[in-house]
């Protein structure tokens, strides 16, 4: 694949910076943004030839940047044969068209770049449909006429859909395709809801792994469940939700799901298109927020993840911070981190260290979610025993001559079914299982 030569542009607006809100103060520094956009560009399959940073008071309505700086960019594009200019800032469709006409080369913003990476990473049928929908919703307002302007810019980043297919550029066909994609994604969502409802009927505790992209969520999923979910050290290696059984109790199931990685300024098109996939997060009982301690900007990354979780309405759920990749820290660095984040867990998913402590914390949070009871079930009541194993967390079991004693975590809504079997007072102590 031919790698495009790219110029990265960062614009810092003085007036906007002086009026920063609490939310804006958590945004990355210029150097951190440069490093992240470089990594995104490389992940998309292009080479960064030049980086330009500029301060100005406010955006130029026509070109986004000042006309003087635009001339400087034009000279860089011509002299270095730049094939693609990427702005870290979000630019309007009109500004994008004006810039492309002036520079006579392809111009994209951060959103388009992230969408392109998602298109390359999508593997499942649902993932491909979701990414294409997000791309077309982004592209539609950026087309003039029948899309001839985009067509003449050739291929590469910003023009390809999932599976390296070329994105449609005819406005009428795009609208028709969007309608088709929305229906297909809805149908898949209905099927997924049916599967979720079956799990919910069985009262299975559900955990979702969330975190900034490349924080090690898939590696942790594999380590915790002895599975082989796709893992690669690159941005957005996981787009499709993967669910596995976490065997921390011998007699009952806990489900853990890997989810798409987040990033600062995650495109709204992606959040909307990945609604059904993000339902795994919404339907979970516990969120494990995985943090890459090797990323020097991990605190801002935590904040960015929190903002996305708030946007999809799940930040009120129980959240456990899990700091990953501690094998790359010195003892002093790790101790300092433990002092600052006292209620968190520290692991190396790759080395499988710290996992027992993680499981212990998960168990404690599960036990808060349920009522703990001891029941005594006669051997001839097989239906009740079957019901318990399908709907409760069985912690311990003791078989007697004519009955079975079980220590359970149970949802309160099922207590009335088991009420006549619950051991109380002296009977509970005699059961000698709790």
Tens digits of residue pLDDT in 82-96:
999 999 989 999 999
Please tell me whether residues 309 and 422 are part of one structural domain: no
Contacts of 384-392 spanning 24+ positions with Cβ under 8 A: 384/417, 384/418, 384/421, 387/417, 388/418, 389/251, 389/252, 390/202, 390/203, 391/201, 391/202, 391/203, 392/203, 392/252
Q: What integer best gives the mean pLDDT of the chain?
A: 84
Among candidate residues 345, 367, 389, the one where a domain is terminated? 367
Q: Encode 402-424 in three state secondary structure.
A: CEEEEEEEECHHHHHHHHHHECC
Please tell me whether residues 8 and 126 are part of one structural domain: yes
Q: Mapping DSSP to helix (H, G, I), strand (E, B) and coil, where does residue 227 land?
A: coil
Model pLDDT, residue 151: 52
Q: What's the pLDDT band for 22 if we cut at 50, 70, 90? A: very low
Model pLDDT, residue 283: 84
Model pLDDT, residue 148: 43
Model pLDDT, residue 232: 55
Q: Is the pLDDT of residue 278 over 60?
A: yes
pTM given for the model: 0.77
Please tell me whether residues 175 and 209 are part of one structural domain: no
Task: Name the residue with tokens 């759920």.
Answer: 317
Please tell me whether residues 324 and 387 are part of one structural domain: no
Residue 272's domain comprises 204-367
Query: What total of structural domains would you count in the chain?
Result: 3
Please tell me whether residues 34 and 166 are part of one structural domain: yes
Please tell me whether residues 237 and 161 are part of one structural domain: no
CA 286, CA 306: separation in Å to the nearest integer?
A: 14
Please tell me whether residues 182 and 260 are part of one structural domain: no
Please tell me whether residues 375 and 359 are part of one structural domain: no
Q: What's the pLDDT band for 201 if we cut at 50, 70, 90? A: low
- Which residues lie below 8 Å from residue 164, measured CB to CB, with a gap of 6+? 120
Please tell me whether residues 417 and 294 are part of one structural domain: no
Please tell me whether residues 346 and 375 are part of one structural domain: no
Mean pLDDT computed over 365-383 = 88
Please tell me whether residues 349 and 230 are part of one structural domain: yes
Residue 197 or 179, more confident: 179
Q: Is the pLDDT of residue 425 over 70?
A: no
Q: What's the pLDDT band for 427 if we cut at 50, 70, 90? A: low
Please tell me whether residues 240 and 379 are part of one structural domain: no
């Amino acid at each position: 694949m031919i790698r495009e030569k790219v110029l990265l542009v960062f614009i810092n607006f003085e007036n906007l910076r002086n009026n920063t809100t609490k939310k804006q103060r958590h945004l990355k520094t210029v150097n951190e943004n440069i490093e992240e956009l470089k990594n995104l560009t490389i992940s998309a399959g292009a080479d960064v030839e030049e980086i330009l940073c500029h301060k100005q008071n406010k955006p130029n309505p026509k070109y986004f940047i000042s006309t003087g700086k635009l001339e400087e960019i034009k000279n860089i594009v011509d002299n270095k044969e730049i094939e693609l200019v990427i702005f870290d800032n979000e630019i309007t469709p009109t500004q994008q068209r004006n810039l492309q006409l002036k520079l006579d080369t392809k111009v994209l913003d951060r959103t388009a770049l992230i969408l392109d990476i998602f298109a390359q990473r999508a593997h499942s049928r649902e993932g491909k449909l979701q990414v294409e929908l997000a791309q077309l919703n982004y592209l539609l307002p950026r087309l003039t006429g029948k899309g001839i302007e985009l067509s003449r810019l050739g291929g590469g980043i910003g023009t390809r859909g999932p599976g390296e297919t070329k994105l449609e550029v005819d406005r009428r066909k795009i609208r028709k395709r969007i309608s088709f994609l929305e229906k297909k994604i809805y149908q898949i969502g209905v099927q997924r809801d049916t599967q979720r409802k079956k799990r919910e009927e069985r009262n299975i505790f559900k955990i979702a792994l969330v975190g900034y992209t490349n924080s090690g969520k898939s590696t942790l999923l594999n380590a915790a469940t002895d599975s082989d979910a796709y893992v690669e050290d690159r941005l957005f290696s996981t787009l499709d939700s993967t669910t596995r059984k976490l065997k921390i109790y011998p007699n009952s199931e806990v489900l853990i799901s890997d989810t798409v990685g987040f990033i600062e300024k995650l495109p709204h098109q992606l959040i909307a298109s990945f609604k059904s996939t993000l339902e795994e997060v919404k339907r979970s009982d516990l969120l494990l927020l995985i943090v890459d301690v090797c990323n020097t900007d991990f605190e801002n990354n935590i904040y960015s993840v929190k903002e996305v979780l708030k946007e999809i309405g799940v930040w009120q759920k129980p959240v456990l911070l899990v700091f990953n990749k501690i094998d790359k820290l010195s003892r002093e660095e790790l101790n300092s981190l433990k002092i600052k984040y006292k209620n968190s867990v520290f692991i190396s998913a790759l080395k499988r260290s710290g996992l027992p402590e993680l499981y212990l914390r998960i168990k404690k949070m599960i036990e808060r979610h349920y009522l703990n009871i001891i029941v005594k079930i006669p051997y001839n009541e097989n239906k009740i025993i079957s019901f318990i194993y399908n709907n409760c967390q069985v912690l311990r079991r003791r078989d007697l001559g004519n009955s079975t004693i079980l220590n359970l975590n149970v949802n309160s809504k099922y207590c009335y079914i088991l009420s006549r079997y619950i051991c109380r007072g002296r009977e509970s102590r005699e059961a000698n299982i709790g």
